[in-house]
Structure 1
């Protein structure tokens, strides 16, 4: 079972006293930064997107048993001290994965806090891009990390995150990592490095969780590499070879069921959105026909273009001060 606690991000947003304004079902927070092309160092590589809080670090407004870093931020003319506990292996994880991935840290927290933490865990500037709360997408009051906005091919993008809400749009691209709090024996990041090095050579990383399951439980399986050739992963087990087994122990297998539920739910979300958009377009078309005399041979406007324009408008309309439902958990049906 995953540990449950009050979200640090939720507490942070309470300190900011965000004002609830009119919300819509699918919106992009205003002023997202322009996503640059891959740097020369990372050109042609697959993209690894990493969450910050409860994935790379754990933070609190109260002192903890172990405080690796104390960040002081000023919000609404008031100073706050944030105590940060770095997940074991986080800095080594960034160093190693930067050798074969483009790295992006994508957090739902604010940049004033996150930048100081990222500077500490990435002193050599190996992370190619930093994205913050204002770059998240709001879906029904929940912050989602929409990987399609990164302008990268989704067959080459992996997101590591402790929250299922973050990857509800692209569950097949996600590794759902266990929450980190204060356990200094935690090995989650370290154990993932060999798997990530392997999957960086795949033509299509999706579905990531299924490849992870195969890697953890099978000594042999086939995949297609970046050149389109069939390859075989083969690892002879030894008496000391227990690292892969630790990735997915029997107690962790419900994570796979969560992913299946997410995929079904994600598909349903897309279908519902398409139906809503079709209804809106039909209604607009009816109103147009009522107000303007149109010849029966007049060509119907392209529906897909109308849909794209509507979504684009919605993404531009959200005020940065809304909503305040950060950290809210979505409950998916358990019986599908």
Structure 2
């Protein structure tokens, strides 16, 4: 006797069986033999949607736990700072940072109280004074004991002949700036003794110089002064390498008590009072100095 196979085909689709958000379950009857393809598909769909509902519930709980509750008060969005990395197309790529270009240091002076005044930059060692860590052979004017790198040192200082008169003359007509490549710890003590009458307007030390090939250069262009109203007096040509047209070279002073270089400078500044661009006067003065040195030879 051949068994009768009962095929039950759902009369409604899965979509039509949903009611009030729920899908009506339809019992599936199988025969004693193998199931039909329609029944297998219906069973797979049922399992898929059941898993989907469970996953949705799980992720909903996770979102509620991970997301902080907002207060009833309206809150805006806070703009986050950019980090070293920026998001682009869902990938993190390093942001290209341009290397910083080395800029010249700026050690500008305070504004001039009298814009009509010209500025005189004066070197210290071998220009206004001579100092030595050993007692000078003839005599010295004062002693300073700076502490450098934790060690106290002694320097015997000899003033250049005429330096007091020279500074006194300049103070009424020019802005005086002592610009030295010496260390602040040492030079500040020397200037305290040298400038008892407080005629020097500003002091600049090694930390205001620019280092070039191991040499200290005094860049006048960074001082906040018009170069046509600036003169530098220095015994070291490296110091004014950037602005040689503003420089008056001076013979280094060691222990020559008959030295009269500062007296010559007073004559130069007296003659250049009416010159608009002091560099013209400097050019004439240094040219005459070269000629005089040639004649002396």
1:110 aligned residue: 183
- Relative to total residues, which structure has the larger helix share, 1 or 2? 1
Shift of residue 156, structure 1, vs aligned partner: 0.4
* 1:43–1:128 CA distance, 2 compared to 1 (3 A): farther
Report 1:1-336 matches (<5 A). 33-39=107-113, 42-64=114-136, 65-213=138-286, 250-251=292-293
1:316 aligned residue: none
Name the SS for the 1:158 alignment partner: strand
Residues of 2 paired with 1:54 and 1:253: CA distance?
25
Residues of 2 paired with 1:69 and 1:250: CA distance?
35
Residues of 1 paired with 2:119 and 2:253: CA distance?
23
Name the SS for the 2:145 alignment partner: strand
TM-score with structure 2 length normalisation? 0.61
TM-score with structure 1 length normalisation? 0.54
The structure number with the bigger radius of gyration is: 2
Shift of residue 213, structure 1, vs aligned partner: 4.6
Residues of 1 paired with 2:223 and 2:278: CA distance?
16
Residues of 1 paired with 2:110 and 2:216: CA distance?
22
Shift of residue 111, structure 1, vs aligned partner: 1.3
Residues of 2 paired with 1:212 and 1:174: CA distance?
10
Name the SS for the 2:191 alignment partner: helix
Higher RCO (Cα < 8 Å, 6 or more apart):
1
Shift of residue 200, structure 1, vs aligned partner: 3.1
Query: Is the CA contact 2:108–2:224 (under 8 Å) kept in the aligned structure 1?
Result: no
Any gaps of 5 or more consecutive residues in structure 2? 1-101
Residues of 2 paired with 1:206 and 1:148: CA distance?
14
Query: Is the CA contact 2:122–2:234 (under 8 Å) kept in the aligned structure 1?
Result: yes
Q: What is the alpha-carbon root mean square deviation over aligned residues?
A: 2.2
Shift of residue 251, structure 1, vs aligned partner: 2.8
